[in-house]
């Protein structure tokens, strides 16, 4: 089976079907971009950790600045690929539409991440694993329990855009199918998450996942298991490019690394180990020296990504490609990426300040999960009339995410995760202090 661009780029919109290919002014895909930009979940990314929790330095990336930068790169990749594929695309699609689809998916790719970045994901997973033998999880099925114990920001992001934002449980942001498909880095459910725990759809959204796969004409590989949308590979590459360069920039801002530590890596990513700039021999800040190389490195990595996409397009269109575009592109880029990841692993991630804050994140999220999950369990088992005063107040804090007494436990816990996962780092820390009685004012 070969996927077809006219289905992959349909203008149909999840939750609000619209079959008209033409639009006056903004295209369907520009509307997706604007809906994401103006959503409250996207705005909250400004106070969510990228790599370094609760950093005091204003130049450190948050999830918001990271997503904007990934979106900028994604747009370039989409336009470049669109120009190459122009004669294969439906008449209603321009290269810039392709750029907008990829950019929109890039902007939303971290929209479901909980407070404190990956440390937050691990904290939520471990909390539910530690409760494996408690009454809290006894009535759940194996897959429901596994969803909670393998909590994934990608799957929560899919839930946010299709369920939570704007039209609550009525289509969410009501994005087009191509934007949703491009967003799904791992278009399968938790059973196929593997050792790294990667998947893009909870059990609660499996029907949406399947509808999406059918509408886009993706290759079905199994139950709730689909191949990626071809443009999803461009989102992955844009994210990896930003991680490779910008994480190292943050480490310099925090005085974990120096410019000379990352200069050889940037030159490798530029594709020119002998490149010299007069700014290198001046007293300019490391930030300015990096800027002299950043653009050149990104352009070279974009070229490598586009070349790899084109070379592997036959396999991509049959759902058989399992590689990564950056790894399968220019060897110099591949080597530079490996060096960047190794340096981050050895020097950045073990940083003591980062470790201290991540341990604190575990305590913060543990306090919140104890309070809200136990209140949801109490509501489920005893009903509203039997709720303790504390649990009444805990439940009331959840607002629109408040579960109902007659719901099964699994959707009740998912609504708790909608509430906690949507918090900023600052609000999570504040609320945990309040609930723990450490800051009553």
Cα 168 from Cα 356, distance rounded (Å)? 37
**Tokens read off for 39:** 């959503």
Domain ranges, residue 184 = 5-115+149-226
pLDDT digits over 76-132, tens only?
999 999 999 999 999 999 999 999 999 999 999 999 999 988 889 999 999 999 998
Does 42 share its domain with 170? yes
Domain of 409, CATH number, reads 1.10.3550.10
The Cα angle at residue 358 between residues 346 and 433, in degrees rounded to 5: 165
Q: What is the pLDDT at residue 49?
A: 67
**Which run of H or E residues covers position 171?**
none
Sequence-separated (6 or more) residues with CB below 8 Å from residue 51: 61, 117, 247, 250, 348, 354
Does 201 share its domain with 60? yes
The answer to whether 313 and 81 are in contact (CB under 8 A) is no
Q: Where are the beta strands (DSSP E) in 21-77?
A: none
The answer to whether 148 and 128 are in contact (CB under 8 A) is yes
Question: For the chain, what is the mean pLDDT?
Answer: 89
Does 216 share its domain with 316? no
Cα 152 from Cα 401, distance rounded (Å)? 19
Least confident of 113-117, 170-174, 244-248, 348-352: 348-352
Which 3-state string (H, E, C) describes 259-320?
A: HHHHHHHHHHHHCCCCCCCHHHHCCCCHHHHHHHHHHHHHHHHHHHHHHHHHHCHHHHHCCC
The answer to whether 215 and 162 are in contact (CB under 8 A) is no
Does 331 share its domain with 273? yes
Cα 341 from Cα 270, distance rounded (Å)? 16
pLDDT digits over 258-289, tens only?
878 888 888 888 887 667 666 666 766 777 77
Q: Is the pLDDT confidence value at 441 over 50?
A: no
Does 137 share its domain with 264? no
Band (pLDDT 50/70/90 cuts) for residue 348 is: confident
Q: Is the pLDDT confidence value at 305 over 50?
A: yes
Cα 423 from Cα 233, distance rounded (Å)? 29
Q: Is the pLDDT confidence value at 246 over 90?
A: no
Does 271 share its domain with 363? no
Burial class (CB in 10 A: 0-12, 13-18, 19+), 379: buried
Domain of 303, CATH number, reads 1.10.3410.10
Does 106 share its domain with 39? yes
Does 187 share its domain with 126? no
Burial class (CB in 10 A: 0-12, 13-18, 19+), 370: middle
Rounded mean pLDDT, 234-247 = 89
pLDDT digits over 9-26, tens only?
999 999 875 545 455 667
Does 270 share its domain with 240? yes
Q: Is the pLDDT confidence value at 417 over 50?
A: yes
348, 368, 393: which is the final residue of a domain? 348
**C-alpha torsion sign, points 230, 231, 232, 236:** positive
Rounded mean pLDDT, 169-177 = 94
330, 348, 366: which is the final residue of a domain? 348
Does 247 share its domain with 215? no
226, 241, 271: which is the final residue of a domain? 226
Does 358 share its domain with 334? no
Does 299 share its domain with 419? no
Regarding predicted confidence, which is higher, 249 or 6? 6
Regarding predicted confidence, which is higher, 356 or 202? 202
Q: Domains in the chain: how many in total?
A: 3
């Amino acid at each position: 089976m070969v996927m077809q661009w006219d289905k992959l780029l349909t203008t149909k919109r999840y939750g609000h079907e619209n079959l008209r290919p033409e639009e006056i002014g903004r295209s369907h895909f520009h509307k997706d971009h604007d809906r994401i930009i103006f959503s409250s979940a996207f705005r909250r990314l400004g106070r969510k950790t990228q790599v370094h929790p609760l950093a005091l330095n204003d130049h450190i990336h948050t999830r918001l600045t990271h997503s904007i930068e990934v979106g900028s790169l994604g747009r370039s990749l989409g336009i470049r690929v669109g120009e190459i594929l122009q004669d294969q695309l439906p008449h209603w699609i321009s290269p810039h539409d392709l750029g907008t689809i990829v950019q929109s998916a890039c902007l939303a790719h971290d929209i479901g991440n909980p407070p404190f970045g990956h440390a937050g994901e691990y904290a939520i997973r471990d909390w539910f694993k530690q409760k494996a033998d408690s009454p809290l999880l006894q009535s759940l099925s194996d897959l429901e329990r596994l969803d909670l114990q393998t909590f994934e920001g990608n799957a929560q992001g899919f839930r946010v855009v299709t369920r939570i934002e704007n039209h609550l449980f009525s289509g969410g942001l009501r994005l087009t199918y191509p934007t949703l498909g491009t967003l799904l880095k791992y278009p399968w459910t938790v059973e196929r998450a593997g050792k790294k725990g990667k998947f893009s759809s909870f059990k609660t959204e499996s029907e949406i996942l399947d509808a999406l796969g059918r509408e886009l004409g993706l290759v079905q590989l199994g139950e709730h298991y689909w191949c990626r949308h071809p443009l999803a590979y461009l989102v992955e590459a844009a994210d990896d490019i930003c991680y490779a360069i910008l994480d190292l920039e943050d480490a310099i801002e925090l005085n974990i690394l120096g410019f000379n530590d990352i200069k050889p890596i940037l030159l490798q990513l530029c594709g020119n180990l002998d490149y010299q700039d007069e700014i290198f021999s001046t007293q300019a800040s490391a930030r300015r020296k990096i800027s002299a190389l950043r653009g050149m490195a990104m352009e070279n990595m974009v070229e490598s990504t586009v070349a790899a996409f084109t070379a592997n397009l036959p396999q991509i269109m049959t759902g058989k490609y399992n590689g990564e575009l950056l790894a399968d592109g220019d060897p110099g880029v591949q080597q530079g990426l490996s060096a960047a990841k190794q340096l981050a692993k050895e020097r950045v991630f073990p940083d003591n300040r980062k470790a201290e804050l991540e341990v604190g994140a575990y305590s913060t999220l543990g306090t919140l999960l104890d309070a809200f999950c136990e209140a949801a369990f109490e509501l489920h088992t005893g009903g509203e009339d039997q709720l303790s005063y504390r649990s009444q107040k805990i439940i009331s804090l959840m607002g629109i995410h408040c579960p109902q007494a007659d719901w099964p436990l699994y959707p009740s816990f998912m609504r708790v995760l909608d509430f906690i996962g949507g918090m900023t780092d600052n609000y999570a820390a504040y609320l945990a202090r309040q609930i723990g009685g450490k800051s009553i004012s």
